[in-house]
């Protein structure tokens, strides 16, 4: 395995060093950090330094990490969050045939749909948000790709707002930019880190949704943004903005195998950073 030391590497505005396309691990006094995810990136937001990089230029499907861009487009458009939107037949998943508790005819405010799409990765909610955009789904997807260009996500492409399509692709380095932009929006930060949310339907029935990332319920973590993703082509994905050892970081984990590997990798990063920063001399 080819190893590259990347401690303290600056994060340019438009891209990373060529060497980062290879697998890289950090080597420091606290030892090597070895993650199981196929692609991974850890960025120190204070100095925009790369702390860990592994296959960060690989273009891969990103599953429901897509929904962060969906949220940015919805909020950029200034669409009223109190406007009520009905789930329609067009919002059903004919790609992966995933299930949903939001039946056809369910009516919820745009804000609730956005919250469920981000927190619980609700696919029909995300599909309804894209369909209810001015100009419809086609205009929404065009806005997603335009936003990606504005953020410098040069290797990213979107074809839907749910992430169910494996044609939604990006790189770990591009997704770090997406996470940074999404974290700066207080509403996205709030919605993605809530542990649970309950919506009330027109018939009085109440539906409670849990966050798809168990780490937001872990008091040992200080998380400012969270999003999970999974389809078979993408594997299990996780992106986070968190404060670890008093340092704000962005974490991108793509194509983790097994249900718990992405959580395990996140915890390995946390323990490694706490150990590394504790060993550094003060000042």
- Residues sharing a CB contact under 8 Å with residue 267, sequence separation 6 or more, in sequence order: none
Q: Which two tokens stand for residue 70?
A: 């969906």
Q: Is 121 a known active-site residue?
A: yes
Q: What are phi and psi of 131, to 5 degrees?
A: -70, -35
SS3 120: coil
Catalytic residue chosen out of the listed positions 37, 54, 58, 121:
121
Of the CA atoms within 13 Å of residue 191, those in its CB half-sphere come to: 24
Answer yes or no: 67 catalytic: yes
Question: Are 256 and 265 contacting, i.e. CB atoms less than 8 angstroms apart?
Answer: yes
Q: What is the DSSP letter of 1?
A: -
Give me the residue label for tokens 């999003």.
227
| Cα–Cα distance measured from residue 174 to residue 82, given in angstroms and rounded to the nearest whole number | 32
> Is 170 annotated as catalytic?
no
Angle formed by the axes of helices 110-119 and 186-193, nearest 10°? 60
Catalytic residue among 64, 165, 170, 256: 64
Catalytic one of 67, 147, 227, 270: 67
What is residue 180's three-state secondary structure? helix
75: exposed, middle or buried (Cβ count in 10 Å: 0-12, 13-18, 19+): middle
**Hey, which residues are catalytic here?**
64, 67, 121
């Amino acid at each position: 395995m080819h190893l590259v030391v990347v401690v303290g590497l600056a994060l340019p505005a438009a891209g990373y060093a060529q060497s980062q396309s290879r697998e890289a691990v950090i080597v420091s006094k606290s030892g090597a950090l070895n993650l199981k995810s196929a692609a991974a990136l850890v960025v120190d937001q204070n100095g925009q330094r790369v702390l860990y990089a592994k296959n960060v230029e690989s273009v891969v499907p990103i599953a429901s990490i897509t929904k962060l861009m969906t949220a940015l487009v919805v909020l950029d458009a200034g669409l009223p969050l109190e406007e009520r939107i009905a789930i329609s037949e067009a919002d059903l998943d004919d790609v992966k045939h995933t299930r949903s508790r939001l039946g056809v005819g369910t009516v919820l405010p745009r804000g609730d749909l956005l919250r469920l799409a981000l927190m619980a990765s609700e696919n029909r909610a995300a599909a309804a948000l894209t369909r209810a955009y001015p100009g419809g789904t086609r205009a929404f997807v065009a806005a997603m790709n335009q936003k990606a260009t504005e953020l410098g996500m040069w290797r990213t492409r979107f074809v839907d707002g749910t992430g169910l399509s494996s044609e939604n692709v990006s790189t770990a380095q591009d997704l770090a930019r997406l996470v940074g932009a999404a974290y700066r929006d207080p509403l996205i930060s709030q919605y993605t880190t809530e542990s649970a949310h309950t919506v009330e339907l027109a018939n009085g029935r109440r539906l409670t949704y849990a966050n798809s990332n168990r780490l937001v319920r872990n008091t040992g973590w200080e998380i400012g943004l969270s999003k999970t993703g999974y389809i078979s082509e993408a594997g299990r994905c996780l992106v986070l903005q968190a404060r670890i050892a008093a340092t704000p970081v962005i974490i991108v984990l793509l194509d983790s195998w097994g249900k718990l590997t992405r959580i395990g990798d996140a915890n390995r990063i946390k323990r490694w950073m706490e150990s590394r920063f504790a060993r550094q001399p003060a000042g």
